[in-house]
Amino acid sequence: MNRPETTEYIEDYEDYASLVGETDIVSAMRKQLIEIETLFGSIPEEKGAFAYAEGKMTIKQLLGHLIVGERVFSYRALRIAHGDPTPLSGMDQDLFIANGNFNAISLADLRTEFLHILQADILFFQNLTDEAWARTGTANDNQVSVRALAYNMVNHTRHHLDSLRRDYLSKL
């Protein structure tokens, strides 16, 4: 499968799109699953509430943000892949962080939840037809393809894993 064309997603996602060079996005998801399991498994529970600066997410909140993002993006992909023409709303990520109670959940439980979501997404995407991959719909008032959503999911996670390594783990 080819990378999504720039016409398949909004310009704001170009930074994310540039993070994935793979053409087999499902294979990239499988690799990311192992990376997430290893990376978050290496962080001690007591470090889950660490934020590298005032006003930044804690490690647990960052993982919660990834969980929420994965759920929202996969829901959009599900609806669009199945031909649902209903425009899908955007989301306020700050609202989800503020009300997610992520700091009260163990890092192990958050990690397990994210891994299960990723495994379900891999199964979903690996079984899509070429026609489903190419379908487009409206999400957050913008046209987007299922293919672009899948790439965005990997890109979004990759972006935050890079931040976790650079901004969090390097300061623990």
Q: 77 with 150: CB under 8 angstroms?
A: yes
Q: How many residues does the chain have?
A: 172
pLDDT tens digit sequence for 126-162: 999 999 999 999 999 999 999 999 999 999 999 999 9
Residue with tokens 């996005």: 25
Q: Is the pTM of this model over 0.85?
A: yes
Q: 17 with 9: CB under 8 angstroms?
A: yes
pLDDT tens digit sequence for 68-112: 999 999 999 999 999 999 999 999 999 999 999 999 999 999 999
Taking the domains of the chain in order of start, what are their residue ranges?
Answer: 24-171
Burial (0-12, 13-18, 19+ Cβ within 10 Å), 141 = exposed
Superfamily (CATH) of domain 24-171: dinb family like domain (1.20.120.450)
**Exposure pattern of 91-116 as b/e (b: 16+ CB <10 Å)?**
beeeebbeebebbebebeebbebbbe
